[in-house]
């Protein structure tokens, strides 16, 4: 029986609690206050905002027994943020965007592990494998590279949808109109890979359409959209040279 204490009240903490709660060989608590933490748990998962991690870690220092592991769940905080807290420290980073009240297939969520010893890494890997079949090792450098890639894949793509939403609203059109197209684009990229799924005027090197779109954005005084349109179109053309 593995005893796990989860520290934090946010979305990641509540999803981790839910994921572990259904496992018969895990005994889990997610107390409301630090003073309710158990003193003899095998694993303490600190799942709080990045800047609160050192504060929580400091408070844990006096409370955990010497064989316990203290790990945080952040993609961007280095393992060294837990230095001095206890003998066994690690990172237990689930790569997903968690929302309240949304059911997720936990077994598909990648979890990235780092530990300050081989033993810690093995124990964290074993715990993560209880809830996910996509567990791998990643040190701070690898986590940062993953994070950069996820900024491009998720944060930036979502913002492009925001820009399109505003543009369509300005012209009396509805963003929802584009949802079937967005869904199908996502499906194609996930099945065939994004490079071979690229469509649009830039990949066809259709200079007539590219110029017409830029002129239109200029006429409408949308310099931000124009800059983004030009930069991304050039990037598409350089990644897909004219045949």
By CB under 8 A, what part of segment 162-221 binds a second copy?
162-165, 167-168, 171, 173, 175, 177-190, 193-195, 197-203, 209, 212-213, 216-217
By CB under 8 A, what part of segment 52-81 binds a second copy?
76
Asked whether 36 and 12 are in contact (CB, 8 A), the reply is no
Instruction: Extract the tokens encoding 100.
Output: 């309240």
* Contact partners, residue 78, CB within 8 Å, separation at least 6: 140
The bridge status of strand 135-137 relative to strand 111-115 is parallel
By CB under 8 A, what part of segment 83-102 binds a second copy?
95-97, 99, 102
* Between 63 and 188, CB nearer to a second copy: 188
- 29 touching a second copy, by CB under 8 A: no
- 104 touching a second copy, by CB under 8 A: yes
The bridge status of strand 69-72 relative to strand 43-46 is parallel
Binding mask 134-153 for a second copy (x = CB under 8 A): x-------x-xxxxxxxxxx
Which member of 34, 52, 137, 231 binds a second copy (CB under 8 A)?
Answer: 231
Residue with tokens 């239109």: 216
* Between 80 and 155, CB nearer to a second copy: 155
Asked whether 113 and 94 are in contact (CB, 8 A), the reply is no
Per CB under 8 A, which region of 15-23, 58-66, 81-89, 232-240 contacts a second copy? 232-240
Nearest to 44 by CA among 65, 23, 18: 65
Q: What is the DSSP letter of 85?
A: T
* Residue 63: CB minimum distance to a second copy, A: 29
Instruction: Extract the tokens encoding 42.
Output: 């095998």
* Residue 133: CB minimum distance to a second copy, A: 12
């Amino acid at each position: 029986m593995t005893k796990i204490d989860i520290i934090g009240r946010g979305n990641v903490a509540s999803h981790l609690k839910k994921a572990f709660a259904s496992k018969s060989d895990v005994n889990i608590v997610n107390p409301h206050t630090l003073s309710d933490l158990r003193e003899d748990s095998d694993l303490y998962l600190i799942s709080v905002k990045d800047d609160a991690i050192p504060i929580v870690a400091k408070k844990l220092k006096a409370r955990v027994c010497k064989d316990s592991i203290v790990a945080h769940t952040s993609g961007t905080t280095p393992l060294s943020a837990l230095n001095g807290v206890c003998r066994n420290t690690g990172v237990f980073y689930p790569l997903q965007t968690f929302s309240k009240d949304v059911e997720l297939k936990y077994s598909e969520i990648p979890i990235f592990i780092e530990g300050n010893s081989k033993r810690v890494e093995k124990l964290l890997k074993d715990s993560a494998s209880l809830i996910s079949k996509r567990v791998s090792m990643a040190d701070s450098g690898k986590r940062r590279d993953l994070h950069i890639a996820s900024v491009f894949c998720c944060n930036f793509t979502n913002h492009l949808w925001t820009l399109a939403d505003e543009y369509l609203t300005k012209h009396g059109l509805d963003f929802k109109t584009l949802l079937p197209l967005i869904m199908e684009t996502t499906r194609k990229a996930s099945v065939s890979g994004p490079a071979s799924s690229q469509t649009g005027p830039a990949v066809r090197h259709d200079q007539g359409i590219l110029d017409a779109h830029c002129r239109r954005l200029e006429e409408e005084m949308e310099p931000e959209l124009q800059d983004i349109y030009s930069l991304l179109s050039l990037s598409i053309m350089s990644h897909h040279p004219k045949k």
